Amino acid sequence: MKPGPFDYEAPASLTEAVRLLADQEREAKVLAGGQSLIPMLNMRLARPGLLVDITRVPELSGLYVDEAGHLHVGAAVRQAAAAAAPEVRAGWPLLAGAIAHIGHPQIRNRGTVCGSLVHHDPAAELPAASLALEARFTIVGPGGNRTVTAEDFFVSTFQTAVGPDEILTEVVFPPAPGDGWSFAEHVQRRGDFAAVGVAVALARRQNAMHRVRVVFCGAGPLPVRVPEAESALEGRPLDAEALEGATALAGAALDPPKDVHASAEWRREGAQTLLRQALTEAWERTA
Amino acid sequence: MTRQHSSEPTGYVGQSVPRVEDERLLRGHGRYVDDIALPGTLEAAVLRSPHAHARITRLETAAARDLQGVHAVYTASDVAALKPLVNEAELRVPPGLAEKLEPLVRTLPMPLLAREKVVYAGQPVALVVADSRYLAEDALELVEIGYEPLPVVVDPERALEPGAPLVEESWQDNLALELETGVGAPDTAFREAAVVIEEEFAVHRHVPSPIETRGVLAAPGAYDGRLTVWANTQTPHRVRDHIAMSLAMPADDVHVVAVDVGGGFGQKGILYVEELLVPFAARALGRPVLWREDRNENLTAASHAREQTHRIALAADAEGRLLGLRDRILVNFGASTMTGLVVPYNSVIHLLGPYRVPHVDIAVRAALTHTTFTSPYRGAGRPEAVFAMERALDRLARRLGLEPSELRRRNLITPEEMPYRTGLLDRSGEKQEYDSGDFPELLRRAVDHIDLRGVRKRQSEAARSGDQRTGVGFAVYLEATGLGPFESARLTVRPNGQLRLAIGAPSQGQGHRTSMAQIAADAVGVPMESVDVLGGDTDAVPHGVGTIASRALVTAGNATHRAGLALRTRILDAAAERLGVPAEELSIDGTRVRHPGGAETALAALVADGAELSETAYFRPGGFTYASGAHAAVVDVDTRTGHVSIEKYVVVHDAGRIVNPVIAEGQITGGVAQGIAGALYEEMIYGPDGQPTTTTYMDYLLPTSSEIPDLHLDEIVTPSALNDLGVKGLGEGGAIAPQAVLTNAVEDALTPLGVVVRRGPLTPDRVRGRIREAQAVHSEQAAPVPS
């Protein structure tokens, strides 16, 4: 469990970082918090020839709310810092709530928000939360900047829209749909990746649900949004009938994987149990 | 909870003296194998087979050798002169057993490096020695090796079927061990019984997972040609003798040090090929060589444990009194016969446990499979036996409509029946005899502490359709402790008048520096601050066995006690001679010996000018001591998710006289935590292709303190009459019962749903699966008959 040889650079500017990443002869790779990359290096599952450490790039360390009320989280922002930020807790509590489920404090102190998104373990919390919050992703590469939506960002397990010579410089969250939110997951041990989990965001207007977002993690190669369940809930109060209807729709829509920890059937049932719990909690939060 | 201890120089035994080793260890001053820095140390890495069964078609090491910084690449042909590994001490069949049971016990010597064939994924194929572990691992990738995959068998039942792929080509089958034993007339008992139940229960494969992985550092001596080996083993003298034999050196030219060791649990209680390969490389290269196992290697290539299947039947009369037991045990040995009879026979002789069973028929077989070899792990066959027996008792109680604890009570051996003979032969081949214990009292207290009546009341009040179901489970067990053949202690007056105790049994966290000092201080009559304890250094005491099988306190403890009494006499005699007064009038006061008349001498003065005061004692146990315990748990099961949560966990134990209560509590707590871990979380899983699938702690679920509940501990004390201290040992006890207890509790919770649990771990998925199956059966039964 020792990595193969690699070079290391810690550029002081984004331009320099992008220039270094262009060196694909050496299979350059971005290093931020290292909570997934370093174990993969140690197990020799990843063999980059150059690590570009972006944690010392000043442009990437920002966390702020812009004039339009959008939250920007730079690529070097640690998960613990994001979860503790007053603006995040006030405006995007689902993001803070999702981060609370990631690993252990030591992991959140090192790991970055953007790093988890680019790594894209489909059982991870942040991809699901970012899809529920309709985040947009700013990607910088040799060809300049581009922005992609959460729908387009996650491609498949461990794959995103970020190319090998590109950097996800920030993730931008528009104002949350409303006050209702919940993040719930099934783990066997505290701090594990979720066997299955769900992010719920919603608003309450005139005692009815609006802008409902239901996204599961651990339920497929991507975070799985369930529009059928969302539209069934739209415009009605959360009563037993609405809850059961949405749960049944989610159960029908999901095609979860099986692995050593759980069968597909257990994941589907677990997703449904979590959805009941999360919708109830999100709805109660708006009261 | 620390109890008061007096400042008197005697009477330490029985007191919760704080562990003297902790300050050093907690400050990070422990010296584990990886902390020992010798100038010029080279580092080794092992190339391991990626296949479960394959023929090696090509092995080319030139490119690896050519990498800068690589000093050597060894393969099977380089170590052909070294004898293959055999854990001889463990594989010896005691004459009594050999003669009376005539067991089949086959020995498969383990090649140090695979030659021609690999038989499990993780098997060492080559050893690279380089300037650093990084370079060594780079070189592993340059070894060119061709494999031709061969058919694989991982299931022990299948492995014993005709035509199964063979692990050892020269054998005609995979049967590594077979024996049958019994008592009375079981066939008649089963024929005449009012009730017979028969069930199949399985215990899954575990990995012991010590916090410090294995490691070996070997250094050839610059002056004397001796070899010093730091190895984190539980049995340093056995490792010494084995290295000496393998490298053809006199045993006293090999110095093995195992002083600070971070957990063993049995995984470090056997001999491994790395413990021979590293010393070999150090001698060949004339440099210190270090190999430290990484966690991936520990999970896949250090010994595994526990995998057993029991087809068990109980016969009882209408009141639930046991008449007979029949069990057919199948053990998965993995790819070698590492410790032979040890684990299977331990299962046999712990199956009856604290229960009176007049007629017995037990047969056990062990199969070789293309999986990592197995060896004892904390409990060593006992958790498996207790799981089968205690689960069977619960099934019998259900059949009879009896409260499970009441069924147990009716069958427990009483103190009046002690010493009690089971009719079986113990591990030494002698008639198995329980020396002492009060099993009904253990159970009575467990029932009381768990508030059985309260739990039953809650269960009957709870809505029968609720999602949360409560259940309660029990298990009563005993444990033969204090395994022989001997252990050693050498107690010496040092030049400053203090004492040094050297024992053959090292500590892997058991607190010997404290508990053994308590015993020695009491025996000699000195303050325990005067006693420094050294365990695990083969130069400090010439012979030793090790810390395995819950034996250290019984064997090393009593050896220490004897050495202490003898040294006290020697000290007083020497002082009497020096002071010219009768020895019986003298008393030891700290580091001085005093006479009431005023004459006195320092202990230091007694060992000056060519005088020595040292006593070495050996303790050879005359029979096994039997520790025992009753555990009980209340669990809540969420029937929607299958999630099990432990509401309360009770332990009532009896380990005879307790030397240090706070250390004993720590031992029990750690053991129970490991037992709970195996019951709910841990499982080493192989695919049908022989590939291990739970190879990191992301997938092999070792629990943390967050998952382990607070324990409710109680004890009774029935001192053993078999040794002067009256101690029994309890290193393994805590780990023996939890899997049985928790499974019984989960099944109790789900009994209204008709759920039967036959194996673990009790993961949410598995529990939910059993609920789903039971519901399917019920709805099938409820479905209208098709017209």
Q: For residue A100, which of A75, A126, A74 has the smallest C-alpha distance?
A: A126
Per residue in B630-656, pLDDT tens? Answer: 999 999 999 999 999 999 999 999 999
Which pLDDT score is estimated for B781?
Answer: 65
**B741 assigned to some structural domain:** yes
Pair (B569, B717) in one structural domain:
no
Which pLDDT score is estimated for A228?
Answer: 97
**B244 assigned to some structural domain:** yes
Pair (B686, B739) in one structural domain:
yes
**B188 assigned to some structural domain:** no
Pair (B136, B279) in one structural domain:
yes
Return the residue of B nearest to A193 by Cα.
Answer: B698
Q: Say which CATH number the domain at A71 has.
A: 3.30.465.10
% of chain A surpassing 90 pLDDT: 96
Pair (B140, B273) in one structural domain:
yes
Cβ-nearest to B763 among A2, A5, A188: A188
Per residue in A196-249, pLDDT tens? Answer: 999 999 999 999 999 999 999 999 999 999 999 999 999 999 999 999 999 999
Q: Which residue range forms the structural domain that includes residue A149?
A: 58-173
Pair (B142, B247) in one structural domain:
yes
Cβ–Cβ below 8 Å for A273 and B641: yes
Q: Which residue range forms the structural domain that includes residue B234?
A: 33-75+113-150+213-261+268-301
Contact with chain B for residue A188, Cβ under 8 A: yes
Quickly tell me which residue has 């250390």 as its tokens: B663
**B333 assigned to some structural domain:** no
In order, the DSSP letters of B297-345 are: HHHHHS-BB--EEEEEEEEE-TT--EEEEEEEEEEEEETS-TTTTHHHH
**B166 assigned to some structural domain:** no
Those residues whose C-beta lies under 8 Å from the C-beta of residue A89, and which sit 6 or more positions away, are A83, A96
How far is Cα A198 from Cα A180, in angstroms, rounded to an integer?
14
| Backbone φ, ψ for residue B214 (5° rounding) | -65, 160
Contact with chain B for residue A2, Cβ under 8 A: yes
Contact with chain B for residue A178, Cβ under 8 A: no
For chain A, give the mean pLDDT: 96
The strand ranges marked E within chain A are 7-9, 28-31, 50-53, 63-65, 71-74, 136-141, 144-149, 154-156, 159-160, 167-173, 180-186, 196-205, 208-217, 224-225
Cβ–Cβ below 8 Å for B296 and A44: no
Q: How many domains does chain A have?
A: 3
Residues in chain A with CB shorter than 8 Å from the CB of B763 are: 188, 261-262
Q: For residue A117, which of A64, A173, A65 has the smallest C-alpha distance?
A: A173
Please state the rounded mean pLDDT for residues A173-187: 95
Per residue in A26-70, pLDDT tens? Answer: 899 999 999 999 999 999 999 999 999 999 999 999 999 999 999
Which pLDDT score is estimated for A252?
Answer: 96
Cβ–Cβ below 8 Å for B642 and A266: yes
Contact with chain B for residue A270, Cβ under 8 A: yes
Contact with chain B for residue A47, Cβ under 8 A: no
Which pLDDT score is estimated for B787?
Answer: 42
Structure tokens at A270: 């677990």
Cβ–Cβ below 8 Å for A188 and B681: yes
Pair (A211, A270) in one structural domain:
yes
**B721 assigned to some structural domain:** yes
Q: Say which CATH number the domain at A232 has.
A: 3.30.390.50
**A1 assigned to some structural domain:** no
Q: Say which CATH number the domain at A28 has.
A: 3.30.43.10
Which of A139, A173, A207 delimits the end of a domain? A173
Q: How many domains does chain B have?
A: 3
Pair (B578, B676) in one structural domain:
no
How far away is chain A from the Cα of B207, in angstroms, using its nearest Cα? 16
What per-residue string of b and e applies to B7-27 under the rule 16 or more CB within 10 Å gives b?
eebeebbbbbbebbbeeeeee
Please state the rounded mean pLDDT for residues A153-178: 96
Positions of chain B with pLDDT lower than 50, given as ranges: 1-9, 785-787
Q: Say what the alpha-carbon torsion angle A92, A97, A98, A103 is, to the nearest 10 degrees.
A: 140
pTM of the model as a whole: 0.95
Which of B588, B619, B650 delimits the end of a domain? B619
Residue A286 carries which side chain, given as an amino acid letter? T
Residues in chain A with CB shorter than 8 Å from the CB of B764 are: 186, 188, 195, 262, 266, 270
Cβ–Cβ below 8 Å for A2 and B137: yes
Pair (B432, B515) in one structural domain:
no
Q: In this structure, what DSSP letter does residue A132 have? A: H
ipTM of the prediction:
0.94
Residues in chain B with CB shorter than 8 Å from the CB of A273 are: 640-641
Cβ-nearest to B294 among A1, A191, A195: A1
Residues in chain B with CB shorter than 8 Å from the CB of A263 are: 765, 769
Please state the rounded mean pLDDT for residues A12-16: 97
Pair (A68, A146) in one structural domain:
yes
Which pLDDT score is estimated for B259?
Answer: 86
Pair (A97, A192) in one structural domain:
no
